[in-house]
Amino acid sequence: MKEVTLIDHPLIQHKLTLMRQVDTSTAKFRNLLREIGILLAYEVTRDLPIKYVEIKTPLSPMSAPMLAPEKKMVIVSIMRAGQGILDGILELMPSARVGHIGLYRDPTTLMAVEYYFKMPHDIEQRDVLIVDPMLATGNSAVAAVDRLKELNPLSMKFLCLLAAPEGIAHFHEQHPDVPIYTAAIDEYLDEQGYIIPGLGDAGDRLYGTK
């Protein structure tokens, strides 16, 4: 399949530019990521199926669309930085089930190291939306999908804010069946595996740890 969807809505682009700026505070960065999470979730759920139900307005009966109840989703956040997008998505979909996978990049090998994994028990009956603001080398996203595939969910999508071409290529090579949604594709990775121009270390900027 090998799909990349660029979600380049003007509101998202504007907010992303504010996030990238070096002097944007932790509080502003956090709020912008939450707001972008809402907008991204709106776009990425565009294909959710609907069902018609009979309702009454104050003036008339009608057959009206609602989300099909059998279409069950789980949002999987790659910690830490995924939590920032997750907060926005949950504002839009407050009853969504949530899974967490804790991964950090080893700074020398740039490989993902797992430290936490907790998913809803019925994930094999659900469609998974994995969220992480950054797709850099792609090692974290690939590791998350590797782990989730062991649990056999119905489908998976990967949603991020910024992707590097190298990360997209690596992810496509390993998981051509999982579509990527991103708000921007940047230029390249530097020697430390940071996205250029990027926004820096998303987790550190979100939580003020640097």
Ligand X SMILES: O=P(O)(O)OC[C@H]1O[C@H](OP(=O)(O)OP(=O)(O)O)[C@H](O)[C@@H]1O
Cis preceding linkage at 197, omega within 30: yes
Answer yes or no: is 105 a known binding residue: yes
Residue that is written with structure tokens 């309702």 in the block:
55
Length of the chain: 210
Of the residues 105, 126, 182, 205, only one is catalytic, namely 105
- 145 with 169: CB under 8 angstroms? no
Q: How many residues bind ligand URA (CB under 6 A)?
A: 9
- 156 with 144: CB under 8 angstroms? no
**What is the DSSP code (8-state) at residue 80?**
T
- 161 with 182: CB under 8 angstroms? yes
**Does residue 194 bind ligand URA (CB under 6 A)?**
yes
What kind and span of H or E run contains 13?
helix 10-20
**Does residue 182 bind ligand X (CB under 6 A)?**
no
30 is catalytic: no
**Does residue 40 bind ligand X (CB under 6 A)?**
no
**Does residue 148 bind ligand URA (CB under 6 A)?**
no
Query: From the list 129, 134, 143, 163, which residue makes contact with ligand URA (rule: CB under 6 A)?
Result: 134
201 is catalytic: yes
**Does residue 186 bind ligand X (CB under 6 A)?**
no
- 133 with 160: CB under 8 angstroms? yes
**Does residue 202 bind ligand URA (CB under 6 A)?**
yes
Interface residue list for ligand URA (CB under 6 A): 134, 136, 193-195, 198, 201-203
Interface residue list for ligand X (CB under 6 A): 78, 80-81, 103-105, 110, 112, 132-141, 167, 193, 201-203
Interface residue list for Mg ion (CB under 5 A): 201, 203
